C-alpha cells in the first residue's frame, strides 16, 4: 500500500492565503521551555495567533528553489524572509525548507544542461548563505527533500552526480551510488558550517513500498562521507519523518520506526510535517494526535516536531471544504480561532510536560547553560582580634575575612577557576590564624591535609615545612584538591573523541529521574564511568567492570540528584571522554 503521491505533491504547490498578519504579544507557546521545539508552517502571511502556539517556523513553499529562483540567477527571498524575520523577532526557530528537491524546481531546470545545473545548484546554496549569514544565519535546513519517493529529473540527478565526482574530497569513492545525495550535504556544510542539516522524506513511518531501508542507506552514505573543508564526517545532523498519512499507524509501530532509524544511523530524528485530517470526524483526528504525538515528543532521539498547518480551511488537506465540526480537513483550530478537539488535547498534553527552569530558546534538544558559580565556605578563627584571612583563586583576591576568636563560617561564591589558597597577609605579633577546613560546593577539604602551608612556623622559621591548620606568618595554605576538582570538569573530550567511543546519553536533559548511557566498546577491557558534580566530585559511580566488545546501555537513576549540570566521564585503556548532562528535578 502507498499513500496517494499526487495528493502529497499537491501540498507543495498550494499557495495559501492566511489571516492577515497582526501585531500581538507572544504568549507561552506550546513548546516553550520544554527542551525541544514545537512548530508549524507559515504560508503567505503570518496568522495573528501564530506566536500564541508555535516557537518554530517553516515556510510551506517560499523557501523552495522554485519559489526563489524563478528566473535563472535572480533570487527573490521575500516570502522566505517573512518566516525568517518572524522567528528572529519573536524568539522562534526558523527552518529553511528546502535546498534540493526533485519537485518544485524552477521551470528552466527541465531544459538546462548538466553543466548548467551543477553550477546552478552550487550557486543557489551559496546565494542562500550570502543572504542569510549576514542576517544572523540559518539554524536548521532541510538540505535534501524526498530523495526516495519523489523522482528527480535525469538532468538534475546527473548534475548532482557530476558535482560529487568533481570534488577532490570524493576522489577515493567516485562511483558511490549516493554521490548525488552526498554532494548536496557537502555544499550545504561548506556554506553553513554550524547549521543543523536535515534530510526529509514521507511514507517512512508506514514503510510504504519498503522505502525505509533505502532511506536509511542514503542517510548512512551521507553520514560516512567527508566534508569539503577538512574531511570530517559531519555532514548530517537529523533525519526527517514527515508523518503524513499516518491515520492507521499504531504507537508501537511509530516508536519502532524511530528506533530503527536511530539504531541503524545514530542520527537524531525530527518530525517535520505532522498532520491528520478530521476524517471521518474530529474524534479520529484527536485520537491520532493523542496516540502518536507523545511517542515522538517523549522519545529521547526526537529533536522536535513541526505540524503542517493548523487553521481550518487553510491547510493543504482541505477535505470536504466544510467549515466547523463537520469539516474533514487537517486544521486543528476553526477559522474563528476556536479549538478543535485535537488542539484541546494538544494544549493539555504539552502543558503537562516537564519544563526546564532556565527556559532555553527553541532548539533541537535545547538545554540550559552551565552555571560555573561555586560556593566556598571557610571555617577559621583568629588567635587575637584583628586577624584576617584572604581567599584567592589563581592569585586573584576573591574575599577577605575579619576573623573572630571563635571558629566561624565565612561564605562566598565565585565563577573563578584555578589554584585556591587561603592567605595570611597582615601578620602582626600574636595574630595567628587557625583554619579548620575549606568547603567547595559542599566538599570538605581539611586544612591540615594540604601539602603546602607556607605560613606555618616550623624548623625555626616561617614556611619551615609541614602540614598544619595553623598559620603563624604571612603565607598561604594551598588547597590542591580544590584546584584539581575545579579544573577537572573542564576536561572535555580529552584524549579521544566522543565519536570514537560512541558515547550517548538519552534523554538529556533528564526530566523524569532516569536516563540511559550508551557506549561502544571496541575490545574486551575494564571501563569506569562516573558522574561528577560541577565542583569535580564524584556523585555517582555508574560502572566499574570489564565489558565485552559491542554496544552497552546502562540505566541511570538520577532521582536523588538536585537540579544542576553534571559531567559524565567514561575512562578506558585508550583514554577518557567527558559529556555534559543536565538533570531537572
The domain over range 374-488 is classified in CATH as 2.60.120.1440: no
In the structure, what pLDDT confidence band is assigned to residue 72 with cuts at 50, 70 and 90? very high
CA distances to 134, 450, 574 from 421, in Å: 47, 10, 34
Q: What's the pLDDT score for residue 490?
A: 37
Instruction: Dump pLDDT digits (tens) for 36-52.
Output: 999 999 998 999 999 99
**Is 150 within 8 Å of 9 (Cβ atoms)?**
yes
Q: What's the pLDDT score for residue 2?
A: 37
Q: What is the mean pLDDT of residues 54-71?
A: 98
**Is 476 within 8 Å of 422 (Cβ atoms)?**
yes
DSSP string, 491-509: --S-BS-HHHHT-EEESSS
In the structure, what pLDDT confidence band is assigned to residue 534 with cuts at 50, 70 and 90? low
CA atoms within 13 A on the CB side of 446: 4
Burial class (CB in 10 A: 0-12, 13-18, 19+), 467: middle
In the structure, what pLDDT confidence band is assigned to residue 568 with cuts at 50, 70 and 90? confident
In the structure, what pLDDT confidence band is assigned to residue 15 with cuts at 50, 70 and 90? very low
As a whole number of angstroms, the distance between CA 84 and CA 446 comes to 56
As a whole number of angstroms, the distance between CA 365 and CA 525 comes to 32
What's the distance, Cα to Cα, between the start and end of the chain in Å?
A: 45
Q: What's the pLDDT score for residue 499?
A: 38
Instruction: Dump pLDDT digits (tens) for 107-132.
Output: 999 999 999 999 999 999 999 999 99
CA dihedral (50, 54, 55, 57) positive or negative: negative
Burial class (CB in 10 A: 0-12, 13-18, 19+), 373: exposed
CA dihedral (546, 552, 555, 561) positive or negative: positive
As a whole number of angstroms, the distance between CA 439 and CA 129 comes to 51
Q: What's the pLDDT score for residue 410?
A: 95
As a whole number of angstroms, the distance between CA 123 and CA 106 comes to 14
As a whole number of angstroms, the distance between CA 189 and CA 184 comes to 9
CATH architecture of residue range(s) 498-583? Sandwich (2.60)
Q: What's the pLDDT score for residue 25?
A: 33
**What sections of 177-228 are H helices per DSSP?**
179-191, 212-223
246: left (phi > 0), else alpha (psi -120 to 50), else beta?
A: alpha
DSSP string, 362-388: S-TT---PPP--EEEEEEEEESSTT-E
Q: What's the pLDDT score for residue 33?
A: 92
For residue 546, the cross-strand partners are: 526
Nearest to 262 by CA among 528, 572, 518: 518
Q: Please, what is the Cα angle at 534 between 530 and 535, to 5 degrees?
A: 95
Q: What's the pLDDT score for residue 562?
A: 81
Least confident of 150-154, 340-344, 446-450, 573-577: 573-577
Instruction: Dump pLDDT digits (tens) for 357-390.
Output: 788 889 998 776 555 677 899 999 999 988 999 9
Q: What is the mean pLDDT of residues 5-9?
A: 39
Give the start-to-end residue ranges of the domains of the chain.
Answer: 5-18+29-351, 374-488, 498-583
Residues designated as active site? 146, 273
SS3 helix, strand, coil % of the chain, rounded to 5?
25, 30, 45
**553 compared with 98, residue with greater pLDDT:** 98
Q: Which residues, 6 or more positions from 252, have their beta carbon under 8 angstroms from its beta carbon?
A: none
Helices 251-265 and 212-223: crossing angle, nearest 10°? 30
- In the block, residue with C-alpha cell 474524534: 283
Helix (H/G/I), strand (E/B), else coil: 398: strand
In the structure, what pLDDT confidence band is assigned to residue 482 with cuts at 50, 70 and 90? low
Q: What's the pLDDT score for residue 369?
A: 57
As a whole number of angstroms, the distance between CA 145 and CA 553 comes to 33
Q: What's the pLDDT score for residue 536?
A: 64
Q: Which residues, 6 or more positions from 400, have their beta carbon under 8 angstroms from its beta carbon?
A: 388, 389, 390, 391
What are the cell numbers at 387? 586577624
Tell whether the model's pLDDT for residue 152 goes beyond 70.
Answer: yes
Nearest to 527 by CA among 512, 541, 538: 541
Q: Which residues, 6 or more positions from 340, have their beta carbon under 8 angstroms from its beta carbon?
A: 278, 282, 285, 286, 312, 325, 331, 332, 333, 334
Q: What's the pLDDT score for residue 17?
A: 34
Least confident of 332-341, 490-499, 505-514: 490-499
**Is 271 within 8 Å of 40 (Cβ atoms)?**
no
In the structure, what pLDDT confidence band is assigned to residue 552 with cuts at 50, 70 and 90? confident
Helix (H/G/I), strand (E/B), else coil: 87: helix
Pick the CATH number of 5-18+29-351 from 3.20.20.80, 3.40.190.10, 3.40.50.720, 3.20.20.70: 3.20.20.80
Query: What's the pTM?
Result: 0.67
**Is 236 within 8 Å of 185 (Cβ atoms)?**
yes
Least confident of 33-37, 172-176, 248-252, 551-555: 551-555
Q: What is the mean pLDDT of residues 50-63?
A: 97
CA distances to 137, 240, 337, 344, 503 from 191, in Å: 10, 21, 40, 41, 28
Instruction: Dump pLDDT digits (tens) for 271-298.
Output: 999 999 999 999 999 999 999 999 999 9
Helices 179-191 and 114-132: crossing angle, nearest 10°? 30
In the structure, what pLDDT confidence band is assigned to residue 346 with cuts at 50, 70 and 90? very high
Q: Which residues, 6 or more positions from 116, have their beta carbon under 8 angstroms from its beta carbon?
A: 159
Q: Which residues, 6 or more positions from 2, have their beta carbon under 8 angstroms from its beta carbon?
A: 203, 208, 209
Amino acid at each position: 500500500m502507498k499513500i496517494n503521491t499526487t495528493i502529497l505533491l499537491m501540498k507543495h504547490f498550494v499557495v495559501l492565503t492566511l489571516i492577515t498578519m497582526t501585531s500581538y504579544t507572544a504568549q507561552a507557546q506550546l513548546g516553550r521551555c520544554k527542551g525541544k521545539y514545537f512548530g508549524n508552517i507559515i504560508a503567505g502571511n503570518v496568522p495573528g495567533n501564530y506566536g500564541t502556539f508555535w516557537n518554530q517556523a517553516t515556510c510551506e513553499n517560499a523557501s523552495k528553489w522554485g519559489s526563489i529562483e524563478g528566473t535563472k540567477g535572480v533570487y527573490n527571498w521575500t516570502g522566505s524572509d517573512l518566516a525568517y524575520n518572524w522567528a528572529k523577532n519573536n524568539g522562534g526557530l526558523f527552518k529553511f525548507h528546502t535546498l534540493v528537491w526533485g519537485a518544485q524546481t524552477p521551470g528552466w531546470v527541465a531544459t538546462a544542461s548538466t553543466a548548467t545545473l551543477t553550477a546552478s545548484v552550487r550557486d543557489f546554496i551559496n546565494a542562500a548563505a550570502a543572504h542569510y549569514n549576514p542576517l544572523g544565519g540559518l539554524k536548521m535546513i532541510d538540505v535534501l527533500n524526498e530523495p526516495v519517493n519523489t523522482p528527480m529529473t535525469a538532468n538534475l540527478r546527473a548534475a548532482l552526480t557530476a558535482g560529487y565526482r568533481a570534488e577532490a574530497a570524493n576522489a577515493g569513492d567516485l562511483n558511490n551510488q549516493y554521490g548525488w545525495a552526498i554532494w548536496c550535504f557537502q555544499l550545504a556544510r561548506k556554506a553553513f558550517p554550524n547549521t543543523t542539516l536535515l534530510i526529509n522524506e514521507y511514507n517512512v513511518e508506514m514503510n510504504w513500498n519498503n522505502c525505509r531501508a533505502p532511506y536509511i542507506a542514503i542517510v548512512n552514505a551521507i553520514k560516512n562521507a567527508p566534508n569539503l573543508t577538512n574531511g570530517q564526517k559531519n555532514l548530517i545532523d537529523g533525519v526527517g519523518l514527515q508523518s503524513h498519512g499516518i491515520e492507521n499507524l499504531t504507537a508501537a509501530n511509530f516508536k519502532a520506526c524511530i528506533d530503527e532509524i536511530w539504531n541503524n544511523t545514530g542520527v537524531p530524528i525530527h518530525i517535520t510535517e505532522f498532520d491528520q485530517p478530521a476524517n471521518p470526524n474530529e474524534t479520529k483526528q484527536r485520537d491520532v494526535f493523542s496516540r502518536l504525538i507523545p511517542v515522538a515528543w517523549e522519545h529521547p532521539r526526537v529533536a522536535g516536531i513541526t505540524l503542517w498547518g493548523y487553521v481550518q480551511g487553510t491547510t493543504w488537506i482541505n477535505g470536504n471544504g466544510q467549515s466547523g465540526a463537520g469539516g474533514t480537513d487537517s486544521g486543528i483550530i476553526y477559522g474563528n480561532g476556536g479549538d478543535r478537539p485535537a488542539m484541546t488535547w494538544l494544549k493539555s498534553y504539552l502543558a503537562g510536560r516537564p519544563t526546564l527552569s532556565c527556559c532555553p530558546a527553541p532548539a533541537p534538544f535545547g538545554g540550559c547553560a552551565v552555571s560555573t558559580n561555586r560556593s566556598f565556605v571557610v571555617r577559621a578563627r583568629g588567635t587575637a582580634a584583628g586577624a584576617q584571612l584572604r581567599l584567592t583563586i589563581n592569585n586573584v583576591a576573591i574575599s577577605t575575612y575579619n576573623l573572630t576568636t571563635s571558629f566561624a563560617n565565612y561564605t562566598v561564591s565565585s565563577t573563578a577557576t584555578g589554584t585556591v589558597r587561603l592567605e595570611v597577609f597582615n601578620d602582626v605579633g600574636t595574630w595567628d590564624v587557625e583554619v579548620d577546613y575549606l568547603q567547595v560546593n559542599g566538599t570538605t577539604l581539611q586544612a591540615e591535609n594540604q601539602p603546602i602551608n607556607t605560613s606555618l612556623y616550623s624548623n625555626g622559621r616561617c614556611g619551615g615545612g609541614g602540614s598544619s591548620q595553623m598559620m603563624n606568618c604571612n603565607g598561604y595554605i594551598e588547597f590542591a584538591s580544590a584546584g584539581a576538582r575545579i579544573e577537572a570538569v573542564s576536561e572535555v573530550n580529552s584524549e579521544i573523541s566522543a565519536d570514537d567511543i560512541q558515547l550517548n546519553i538519552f534523554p538529556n536533559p533528564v526530566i523524569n529521574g532516569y536516563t540511559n548511557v550508551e557506549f561502544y566498546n571496541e575490545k574486551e577491557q575494564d571501563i569506569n564511568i562516573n558522574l561528577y558534580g560541577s565542583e569535580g566530585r564524584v556523585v555517582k559511580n555508574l560502572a566499574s567492570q570489564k565489558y565485552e566488545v559491542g554496544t552497552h546501555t546502562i540505566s541511570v537513576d538520577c532521582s536523588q540528584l538536585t537540579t544542576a549540570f553534571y559531567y559524565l566521564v567514561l575512562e578506558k585503556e585508550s583514554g577518557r571522554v567527558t559529556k555534559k548532562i543536565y538533570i531537572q528535578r
